[in-house]
Amino acid sequence: MTDFATARRHMVDGQVRTADVTDLRILSAMLETPRERFVPPASAGLAYLDLDLPVGDGGSRRLLKPMVLAKLIHAADLPQGGCVLDVGCATGYGAAVLARVTGQVVALEQDAGLSQAARATLSGQPNVNVVSGPLTAGWPQGSPYDAIVLEGATEGPPEAFLSQLKEGGRLVCVLGTGPGSKAMLYCRSGDELGGRPIFDATAAVLPGFAKAPVFAF
C-alpha cells in the first residue's frame, strides 16, 4: 500500500522546493493537501509523480504537474487575504492548494462531472466557491480578482480576462503547446495586460482555449 504522506513529502522536497518555490504558504499547502483524493482511484498511486494526471471522463482533462502548479501560484504572488479565480479547476486540487494560501477562491469548471467532483472534494473548504460556466468567460460575478490562475494551457494571450483583474492584478498560465510553450505572468496596468515568460512548461490546452484553425487555399 502506498504511503501517501511520505510520497507527498517527497513530492514537495524533490519537485517543488528544488524548483525555487520559496513561499512557505505554498509548501505547507501542498504538504497538507492529499492529491490522491483528487484523481481516479486507479491512479492514486501516481498522484505524487511528476506527471499531468488524467481526470474526468476518458481522462479528457489533466491536473497540472505539481511543480508547474506550485511555480504558477508562486509567480502570482498572492496576498494573504486575496481573492483568486481558478479557471479550469477540474477535480479541485489546485483550488484546495490556493485556499490554503490566500483568502477566497472561486473555482470555475464547465464540465458537469468535474464540477460535481470538485464540490465533493472541496466540501470542507469554506473559502472555496465552486461555480459552473464556460471557462473562456471567467466569472465576472466575483470580480475583480487579485489573481487569476489558468489550470492549463491557452494557445493565445488571455486578454479576455483583463476586465476581471484588479489594477495590478496578476494572471498566470501556460501559453502555447509543444516544446516551445512557456509559463507566463501577466499583470494588469490600466487597459493593458502585459506579460512575460517565467519558465518553460507544458500543459494540456483548456477547453475553448485552442486557436481557431486557419485554412490555407
Q: What is the pLDDT of residue 58?
A: 80
The one-digit pLDDT tens for each residue of the chain (217 residues) are: 689 999 999 999 999 999 999 999 999 999 999 999 999 999 999 999 999 999 988 878 999 999 999 999 999 999 999 999 999 999 999 999 999 999 999 999 999 999 999 999 999 899 999 999 999 999 999 999 999 999 999 999 999 999 999 999 999 999 999 888 999 999 999 999 999 999 999 999 999 999 876 655 5
Q: What is the pLDDT of residue 181?
A: 96
Contacts of the segment 37-45: beta carbons below 8 A, 24+ positions apart: 37/121, 38/63, 38/90, 38/91, 38/92, 38/93, 38/96, 38/121, 39/63, 39/91, 44/2, 44/4, 45/2
Which CATH architecture describes the domain 4-200? 3-Layer(aba) Sandwich (3.40)
Task: Report the C-alpha gap between 70 and 130 in whole angstroms.
Answer: 21
Q: What is the pLDDT of residue 166?
A: 98
Q: Against a cut of 0.85, is the pTM above it?
A: yes
Q: What is the pLDDT of residue 214?
A: 60
List the domain boundaries for the chain: 4-200
